[in-house]
Amino acid sequence: MDANENLDEENIKRCNLSLPSNHQPDPDDGEGFYSIFQKHFKPIKLLGQGSFGCVFEAEISVDGEKRKEWTVDHPLEKVAVKRIPFRFSVSNISTIMNEVLSHKLLKHKGIVRCYDFWTEIPPKGWQRLADEELLNEINTNVELTYSDESSFLYIMMKRCDISLADWLIDNASRDLKIVKIIFSQLVYAVMYIHEKKLIHRDLKPSNILFSRDGSVKICDLGIASVRVINCEDRKGQEVAIERTMDQGTVLYMAPEQPGWREYSSKVDIFALGLILAEMCIVMSDDEREEVFDNYRCGMTNTILKKIPEAENFVSWLTNPIDTERPAASRLHTHEFLRFSQSRQEIKQIRERKRIKKEMDNRRSFVKAVTPWMDDPLPPPNLPVNHRLPNRTKVFFNPTTA
């Protein structure tokens, strides 16, 4: 941290920073340091780790107002807490908070819910000791990689058990109807992101999750730099103002991403095309890399020749010229996503189910009341002197109707 960078205490409070008591990022000892994660959560297991950091499954262990705040919109259940190391600076804090806040504000069934986020700036060496104790408690023998100078961003999210990457591994035989259903949900989520003037920029199978009911959810929006979209540049094309070289996963990057100062939401469309190709055809790692590179270079791929409707669709999404790719809002116009059951048919099926449920409830009610309708004894919960009218003596009187 530069000497001339002074911490604004109001901004720190608003950002929920967990700082040492003297507000210095690297004090000599840990006295006074308060870790929100350590004090408010009980880690259960390590769900994964990588260059991004690590993810813990955890239970909320704090009581009082903070617990009410965290659980007001969802039932008490296990959550996922992602921890991402970063280099501390005032400018980084501002950028990170803006990025993750934009994720927290997104409310869509196709987006993994972000419940809360905060940063922690532990004293040098403190995190190593805390992690040794934590990993020992959850019986995990791994080494979490980060610099001793690191600060950490924590994101508390809805827990999802399965990713699209897992689904690809477990399903060597791909049903095209299932692929279409999954991909259609994914398209709606991306469309919502773009409508909010954001770009995900790192779509890949491991960032696409399934909830318990099987619905598709996109995660890691708070980690990818939020792109402020300027619709007035490039003749109305949506343009991201800036980017850095290390953002995004190379394998799923659009050709314009690496090294460019500007790119648009069309990078997400390109990634969708690659993901769809991978969903339709089982490929080895080497085959996938070759096929994806061919798409980036605009070369012909024959990988989908046996599925012409998918081949045409993927070619549309992966056009090497970004302005030639469709907007997310146009994707459902393609024949590939015109299911054998249209949305109207799906609505009709749901309506029939609703009517059937209503009729079943009515039948249950009639069945329950029939025994006592003609019975001289009162039904349950009625006073003894109360008598129901005899149905044969109840007539419709037009003068009183």
- Rounded to whole angstroms, how far apart are CA atoms 193 and 172? 30
Residue in this structure with the two tokens 């070619």, named with its chain if needed:
315
**How far, in Å, are 13, 52, 223 from residue 268 at the CA level?**
34, 19, 15
Angle at 276 between CA 270 and CA 282, to 5 degrees: 130
- Rounded to whole angstroms, how far apart are CA atoms 390 and 306? 71
Active-site pick, 26, 131, 166, 202: 202
- Rounded to whole angstroms, how far apart are CA atoms 216 and 167? 12
Q: Which long-range contacts (CB under 8 A, 24 or more apart) does 136-141 make?
A: 137/43, 138/43, 138/44, 138/45, 138/46, 140/45, 140/46
202 catalytic per annotation: yes
Query: What is the sign of the dihedral through the CA atoms of 225, 226, 231 and 232?
Result: negative
Describe the strand order of the beta sheet including 216-218 as a list of residue ranges: 162-163, 208-210, 216-218
Which residues are marked as active site? 202
